[in-house]
Amino acid sequence: MKLEEVLKTSNFRDARHKATLNILYTSYWLKTAMSQYIKELGITAEQFNVLRILKGKHPQPMCVKDIAGRMIEKNSNVPRILDRLVLKQLADREPNAEDKRETLISLTEKGLALLLSTNDMIDQVDNELLGITNQEAEILNELLEKFRNKI
């Protein structure tokens, strides 16, 4: 669907203004669609993001600050997200032996199994939602990175 149809206007200052609104709208649209798939797993998109971050370091634990630094949504309440993941037995929390002020978080076997079971689903979601070729995705990635490098 064209942005003009969604926003019910074609009154943009210029193509860059339209592109900015298109990125904002598409980001929200994609997050909403992905959240619906992830909700079937009994977790939120933010919890899924934390699990994926932990998987990247598995089997090594990570401190809360490092997890927060890798979050897609930077204003997420990481300690609250971790509390919920620990309650669901998808992550473990333990004090750091070297620095008592720091808490280490690791992925449990249950959390790892959940992530492994989602690989096919995530591939399917990427294919269904994006609807672009790998070559088009490479161009889009370059443009988005160029956009972020200007900020």
Tell me, what CATH number does 119's domain have?
Answer: 1.10.10.10
- Total number of domains in the chain: 1
One-letter amino acid at 133 equals T
Which domain covers residue 142, as residue numbers?
A: 3-149
Residue 128's pLDDT is 79
At 150 the pLDDT is: 75
Give tens-digit pLDDT for 28-60.
998 888 888 888 889 998 999 999 999 999 999
Residue 83 CA to residue 89 CA, distance in Å, equals 10
* Of 122 and 25, more confident: 25
Alpha carbon of residue 119 to chain centroid: 14
